[in-house]
Amino acid sequence: MKQLCLFVLFVFFKTLITKAAPGDVHIAVETRQTALVIRVDKDQTPTLVHLGSKLRNAAEYAAIQARGKRGEDYTDIYNSVYTPAGSRNLLEPAIQVTHADGNPSLDLKYIRHESQSMADGVVLTKVYLKDPQYPFEVTLYYKAYQNEDVIEQWSTIRHTEKKPVTLHKYASANLYIPAQYYYLTHFHGDWANEMNPSEIPLTEGIKVLDSKLGTRADLFQPPSFLVSLNKPAEEEQGEVIAGTLSWSGNYQLAFEVDPLHNLRIIPGINPYASAYSLAPGTEFTTPAFLFTYSDKGKGGASRSLHRWARKHRIPQGEGNRLTLLNNWEATYFDFNEEKLSALFKDGKKLGVDLFLLDDGWFGNKYPRNNDRAGLGDWQENVKKLPHGLGYLVKEAETAGIKFGIWLEPEMVSPKSELYEKHPDWVIKLPNRSEYYFRNQLVLDLSNPKVQDFVYGVVNDLMTKNPTLGFIKWDCNAVIYNAFSATIQNQSNLYVDYVQGLYKVLDRLRAKYPTLPMMLCSGGGGRVDYGALKYFTEYWPSDNTDAQERIFIQWNYSYFFPSIASCNHVTDWGKQPIKFRTDVAMMGKLGYDIVVSKLTEEELTFSQQALKTYEGIKNVIWKGDLYRLASPYTNDVASSMYVSESRDRAVWFTYLVNSRYKAGSQAPIKLNGLDPAKNYRVQELNVYPGTTSRINTSTATYSGNYLMAIGFNPQVDTRRTSVVLEVNEVK
User: Which is it for strands 624-629 and 636-642: parallel, antiparallel or unpaired?
Assistant: antiparallel
Which of residues 358 and 582 has its CB atom nearest to ligand DGJ in the complex?
Answer: 358
Burial class (CB in 10 A: 0-12, 13-18, 19+), 383: exposed
- Smallest separation, CB 545 to ligand DGJ (Å): 14
φ and ψ at residue 93, rounded to 5 degrees: -80, 160
Query: Does the active-site annotation cover 107?
Result: no
Binding of ligand DGJ at residue 520 (CB under 6 A)?
Answer: yes
Which of residues 566 and 577 has its CB atom nearest to ligand DGJ in the complex?
Answer: 566
Which of residues 194 and 602 has its CB atom nearest to ligand DGJ in the complex?
Answer: 194
- Smallest separation, CB 392 to ligand DGJ (Å): 17
Which of residues 211 and 476 has its CB atom nearest to ligand DGJ in the complex?
Answer: 476
Binding to ligand DGJ (CB under 6 A) within 456-475 occurs at 474
- Out of 31, 185, 270, 476, the residue judged to bind ligand DGJ by CB under 6 A: 476
Which of residues 353 and 592 has its CB atom nearest to ligand DGJ in the complex?
Answer: 592
Among 30-38, 153-161, 260-268, 517-525, the segment contacting ligand DGJ (CB under 6 A): 517-525
Which of residues 411 and 445 has its CB atom nearest to ligand DGJ in the complex?
Answer: 411
Q: Is 84 helix (H, G, I), strand (E, B) or coil?
A: strand
- Out of 317, 523, 530, 672, the residue judged to bind ligand DGJ by CB under 6 A: 523
Residues 57 and 390: their CA atoms lie apart, in Å, by 63
Among 208-216, 348-356, 518-526, 578-586, the segment contacting ligand DGJ (CB under 6 A): 518-526
Q: Is the torsion defined by CA of 499, 504, 505, 510 positive or negative?
A: positive
Contact (CB, 8 A) for 704 and 675: yes
Burial class (CB in 10 A: 0-12, 13-18, 19+), 462: middle
Interacting residues of 512 by C-beta distance below 8 A, sequence separation 6+: 458, 462
Binding of ligand DGJ at residue 218 (CB under 6 A)?
Answer: no
Interacting residues of 325 by C-beta distance below 8 A, sequence separation 6+: 343, 346, 347, 350, 352, 354, 355, 356, 401, 590, 591, 592, 595
Which of residues 444 and 592 has its CB atom nearest to ligand DGJ in the complex?
Answer: 592
Which of residues 184 and 518 has its CB atom nearest to ligand DGJ in the complex?
Answer: 518
> Which residue(s) pair with 716 in the sheet?
663, 719
φ and ψ at residue 412, rounded to 5 degrees: -145, 140
Q: Long-range CB contacts (< 8 A, 24+ apart) of 545-550?
A: 545/572, 545/573, 545/575, 546/572, 546/573, 546/575, 546/579, 546/580, 546/582, 546/583, 546/584, 547/573, 547/574, 547/575, 547/656, 548/572, 548/573, 549/583, 549/584, 550/583, 550/631, 550/637, 550/654, 550/656
Which of residues 142 and 406 has its CB atom nearest to ligand DGJ in the complex?
Answer: 406
Among 195-203, 214-222, 520-528, 646-654, the segment contacting ligand DGJ (CB under 6 A): 520-528
- Smallest separation, CB 408 to ligand DGJ (Å): 7
Binding of ligand DGJ at residue 359 (CB under 6 A)?
Answer: yes
Binding to ligand DGJ (CB under 6 A) within 393-412 occurs at 406
φ and ψ at residue 182, rounded to 5 degrees: -130, 135
Contact (CB, 8 A) for 664 and 611: no
Query: In what helix (H) or strand (E) does residue 349 lie, and over which residues does it extend?
Result: helix 337-350
- Out of 328, 494, 556, 641, the residue judged to bind ligand DGJ by CB under 6 A: 328
Residues 612 and 650: their CA atoms lie apart, in Å, by 11
Task: Tell me which residue has its CB nearest to ligand DGJ.
Answer: 359
User: Which one-letter DSSP state was computed for residue 573?
Assistant: S
User: Which is it for strands 283-285 and 136-145: parallel, antiparallel or unpaired?
Assistant: unpaired
Catalytic residue among 474, 528, 582, 635: 474
Binding to ligand DGJ (CB under 6 A) within 541-580 occurs at 542
- Smallest separation, CB 544 to ligand DGJ (Å): 9
φ and ψ at residue 80, rounded to 5 degrees: -55, 145
Number of chain positions touching ligand DGJ (CB under 6 A) = 11
> Which residue(s) pair with 224 in the sheet?
244
- Smallest separation, CB 657 to ligand DGJ (Å): 29
Q: Is 536 helix (H, G, I), strand (E, B) or coil?
A: coil
Binding of ligand DGJ at residue 300 (CB under 6 A)?
Answer: no
Binding of ligand DGJ at residue 358 (CB under 6 A)?
Answer: yes
User: Which is it for strands 537-538 and 517-519: parallel, antiparallel or unpaired?
Assistant: parallel
Among 124-132, 207-215, 519-527, 607-615, the segment contacting ligand DGJ (CB under 6 A): 519-527
Catalytic residue among 218, 542, 545, 582: 542
- Smallest separation, CB 707 to ligand DGJ (Å): 39
Strand order in the sheet with 648-655: 624-629, 636-642, 648-655, 721-728, 678-684, 700-702
Residues 50 and 37: their CA atoms lie apart, in Å, by 5
Site string for ligand DGJ, 166-205 (x = CB under 6 A): ----------------------------------------
- Smallest separation, CB 651 to ligand DGJ (Å): 29
- Smallest separation, CB 380 to ligand DGJ (Å): 17
Which of residues 7 and 436 has its CB atom nearest to ligand DGJ in the complex?
Answer: 436
Binding of ligand DGJ at residue 538 (CB under 6 A)?
Answer: no
Query: How many other β-carbons are positioned within 10 Å of the β-carbon of residue 386?
Result: 11
Query: Does the active-site annotation cover 73?
Result: no
Contact (CB, 8 A) for 444 and 485: yes
Among 115-123, 259-267, 502-510, 516-524, the segment contacting ligand DGJ (CB under 6 A): 516-524
- Smallest separation, CB 192 to ligand DGJ (Å): 9
- Smallest separation, CB 346 to ligand DGJ (Å): 19
Positions touching ligand DGJ (CB under 6 A) are 328, 358-359, 406, 474, 476, 520, 522-523, 539, 542
Q: Catalytic residues, which ones?
A: 474, 542
